[in-house]
Structure 1
Amino acid sequence: MSDRIVGAAPSPGRLLAAAEPQAGPAAKALDLLSIIVAAVEQAPGLAVRGIDRDGIVRYWSLGAARLYGVAAELALGQPWARVAASLPDAASLAEEGTDELAAVWESGKARSTRLWKLDADGAAPRCICSTVFPVIESGRVRQVVCIDVDITASGQDGAAQGALLLMGDNFRQLYDKSADAIVLLRDEYIAEANPAAIALFQCEDRPRLLGRRLSDFSPLRQPDGALSSLRGTQLAAQAHADGNCRYDWRYQTCAGQLFWGEVLLTSVTLDHTYLFYAVIRDISSRKLAERDLYLSMQVIEHASVAIVVMDPQQRVVSMNPAYSEISGYSLDDMLGKPFVQHGVEPDTPAFFEHVWDEVEANGYWQGDISGQRKAGARYPAWLSLTAIRDSQGQLSNYLAILSDISERKKNEEHTRHLAEHDFLTDLPNRVLLLDRLSLSLAAARRKLSMLAILYLDLDHFKHINDSMGHHVGDLLLKEVARRLVRCVRGVDTVSRHGGDEFVIILAEVGGIDQVAHVASSLLHAVTQPYQLGEYELQVSTSIGVAIFPSDGDSIETLVHNADIAMYHAKESGRNNFQFFNAEMNAQIVERASLEQGLRAALGRDEFVLEFQPALDVASGQIVGAEALLRWRHPQLGVLPPERFIAVAEECGLMVSIGNWVLQQACRRARAWHDAGQAWRVAVNLSPAQCLHNNLLLSVQEALAVSGLPAACLELEVTESLLMKGGARLAGVLAQLRALGARLAIDDFGTGYSRLANLRHYPVDKLKIDPSFLPAVADDAAGESDTMLAATIIAMARELQLTVIAEGVETAQQLAYLRGQGCQQYQGRYASAQVAGSVLAKLLH
């Protein structure tokens, strides 16, 4: 064999390049061996050959040139069979070498180390130790590498020769300086270990490691539950059978700390002795990263939000299943295409230009967008775009996170609807009304058009709630709402303002006549009969109208003036509509002043009682007196009840005022009794008192405190109230009559009730309304008034009821009543209203 170097060997690292010039880096599994090959390139007695699938020599080291005497220029690019044929003992070398190469190509596994003899020209045969292994990249064998070591020595056995191989100068240097742990195992025990192994296992010195089994540095069980000792034996057998074995292993250091190691266990057979060398790399950080990566991938795969990765050109490179579930697009639909082209449709062409500008400037953008599913349907989405940059600050990817917010938008819309609509009728509430009115006013100002506000209040709705229950009242409100909506246009707004009040905006009306027509339609619609369960009802409404711009230029003024007009409609008999005017406003201001004064009047002792005496028609003697309420107003003077009773009823003060009247009247009657005048006192009961639950208790308290006998108290209710009160009022009157109080019907003849119906009520007296008396003294008067008065008196006598005529002002009227058999009268003919203390003295 020639000692002349006949060709330059490739530089370290060219092994793979020579094998396949365009191939990438070798698989990580052989990183360490590649380093070893590069390091021992110049070592004497070491020859490295690289051969591709076609059997062509692609790598020929300097050691190969020395060992075989063939220069690199002559070997590279030549079939290995041809090169082997030129060597001594060519036939056996070519045959065995070709078979061994074919086995490695076929199995993709390294062949166990073998020894063979190389004859040399005129020299002693050489003992060659060869190992053949594949270079694998991307799961494919790229080339086969052969490392041949001349272990010819002075008669040492095979094991010693293997040890000498490891102790070669260059290899020993690499072995000592390797960052990976390398241990040599003989009969399962550690025979040699490099410094990196001692450090990895945290041993104080080499003796702590040598002589122990590698399984001694393992926990009892591996993370998958397998016994470490059993699994280690299995892996050693696999390495012996296959030549090498790569696996991950959980180790435990001398200090008791656990770590993950990546192990390349290689089997070497020298002179029938089995040796293993293990290369161990600490991969704890990698395992931790893999675990984190696995968790991250699981999160991404199972995330409910869509995650899309794009390249710097905004083309989709990856996405999770959630995006397919949301949009309907598969990865095949999206791959390599611009993200905004599928699944995200901007409302304007410039929208996403602005978005990408924001991402470029700030690194991210987020906001609501309109998405489009593959089927074409639009959906609301929340999108976050982030620019991903590498360690050098260069843009590498874009990350999009997208959520379908249809449900959130639906909930928001539902919440907004609840906030802006009445829960009972689903009409716009006060909040939405004011918003729409603001928009309508702005449009009316811009177009110089007319706008109308209609304020509606149901008549006597409280009576329905009190007598039939709130359930019926709610059903009525819902039906009224439906009828109101049917009476107006789509551009108009019908809202529930609260309680039984509704406000309607008529936008862009053509004139007053159009408003009046709509108001008439509303009145007609509301007054139609209602069938609400077992109840058949008929109600009416009062409507106030305010016009923009004549009745106000602001929301507050228009609504206020329409409210004023509505109250005027109620005062005008209800079931009608009224347009606002300035006089109404003055009346409302007065009413507000009265209400404010009424609330303080009781506490300031401003109420007084006057009494209208009642006389016996036959004898002319006083038999009683009617208590009449007066209000000594600090600014307006003494006010009759007509000026303030209605206000007191509406603002809820009538019950407390009525109780005060009861108490004062009973006290005054008791004073008359104490003075020897056993007169009966008559007190008018208001509708609010009659329907109040505590009326009986209030009467009992007034009688008890004053000491007045119940028979001396006469309680008056109007005929109209008697007609509307029904069974509930009949029950209350029965209780009062059982108490001993006398009951009278006031203003009889105005309510058109039948006298026969009076049999159902425990009444004692009828009061003939004054409107039937003036014509009695007029010779030209028709007979209808006198006939009616005579009929009432006759029928009452038949029912054994006392009859008293009110408003008697002349002797002729008194004479007529006497002739018809009327028992009592009161009026100016006898006496005007006077204070209780002077009543007896005045008529003495």
Structure 2
Amino acid sequence: MVRTTEYYGEHSRSSGLLDSVAGAIIASAPDGIMLVDLNGTILLANETMAQISGYSAEALVGLPVEVFLPPAMHTRHHANVRSHAQHPMRRPMGRLGNLSLLRRDGISVPVDISLSQCQTDKRIATVVFVRDMTGVKRMEQQMQYQATHDSLTGLVNRWMFHQHLNLALAQSLRQRRPLALLLLDLDDFKSINDGYGHAVGDKILLEVAHRLAAVLRGADTLARLGGDEFIVLLPEILEVADATQVASKLLAALGRPALVDGNEIQLGGSIGLVVCPRDAQDAETLLRYADMAMYRAKAAGRGTFAVYSASMGAQMREKLQLQERLKLALETGGLMLHYQPQVDVLSGRIIGAEALLRWHDTELGEIAPARFIPIAEASGLILPLGEWVMRSACQQAAAWARAGTPLRVGINLSARQFRQQRLAQRLGEQLAEFGTPAELIELEITESEAMADPQQTKDLLRELCQLGVGIALDDFGTGYSSLAYLREFPITRLKIDRAFIQPIAEREADATLVRAVLALAHAMHLSVVAEGVEQTKQLDFLREHGCDCYQGWLFSKALPATQFEALLGLQLVQKV
């Protein structure tokens, strides 16, 4: 029941303010609602407001709104109330961040507030809508943790490690104290995965993380960069010998066999060590040199460490060779697109495809994207490479549409490609050139790309959407983004990263996160694609919780266009 009292020296019944219908609406509202006079005195409060604040609805009436703030803020807030009364302005939800309300029991509750004005039968008053944001903040915190920590080991992930490294570098150069990086790669970890299975491999990675962490100091940073690759930041060393001593301890910790599921498994690793400022003074170069040193340790027989030296140029020459061969492939051919089917979870029908770049070199053979994409990004070849991918995918989508099998084709955009000023114009020209229906093209961008410059992203995405293409947020959950920006971006689809899909049948924390993402996406009228589905139980989970679409080896790996068409043709035959 809504209780109202006008507080100007006399009290009256609630019927003097609102009729019974309005009262019922206010009483059932999911948000807290208050009516406040121009002096900041509460005239009305609904039951939701009582639940949020810890006061009864009757007790709130007659209190100043400053009751929800710490005493130190009362004077300033009262002045803001008077200012708002003199210059009223409607304020919707979402305008101010990090608002909180002090409950009666002293607990701070995160809230969002909307303000508007209304005319009562006697005078003007302010209507305050208060939304409890506890659940949203909890989800944001969980997603932020997932975005900054490795989902398997709980260690700092690659993105967060770079933040630690950049801060440590600035401090090291300012104080003229050296720091060291130790890049560790497990030896022959692929054999463990192949011989014992990925579940055992994951347990090995957890064991490795625990052993490495036990060796390090509290000031040191341990991160998992991905796969079986770990990295250690030693922010304060006196000399190189300090870092080599730590490297020896890490290798010794790995030297003990691990007992996993009744199997005694021998562990080992190779470490590349690099020192700042002796070897380099920027993060990118240090990491590159650490990588060179680590491969030198591998070549030396594994199970050891190598300290970077200027002679380690062989790998750099290899990268230069790859760069030249990639440039030649762009000019003469050698690149091709494979297409991984995107499948409707309920019907099992192919409803789209993700275009994935593949490269076969006549001299070097098959070269994995993980090997040549970083070289393309570092050399600037990523822009013509991205142009070729976009052009080829538009041409293929148009061909499939003319053949009577129109399919949505997803195109991954690199960070540099996404920041091109003429991106929308170039895409529009290619759609027109090939006669590609715009709705058959979906551009995929990552969270980190989108959040690098939110305003620029918003403007560019709107420009792209005007062409009629779709926008998918790729690898969702691996890069932290504000829910407020997610709401403002013209996104049509979320893609949940395989890192969260792989363990959903085994780990409740990941299952909970995937359920939360699905609920969030559907509440925002976005469809969801799950990546990396390899097991039937993963698909069953996704089907049970309303995921729209999936892709992964459970259905098919990425295929050349002709094989993809054969797969699509088989599907059509089965339909007939």
Counting strand residues as a fraction of each chain, which structure ranks higher? 1
Highest RCO, 1 vs 2 (Cα 8 Å, sep ≥ 6): 2
Provide TM-score, normalisation by structure 1.
Answer: 0.34
Higher Cα Rg: structure 1 or 2?
Answer: 1
Taking structure 2 as the reference length, the TM-score comes to 0.49
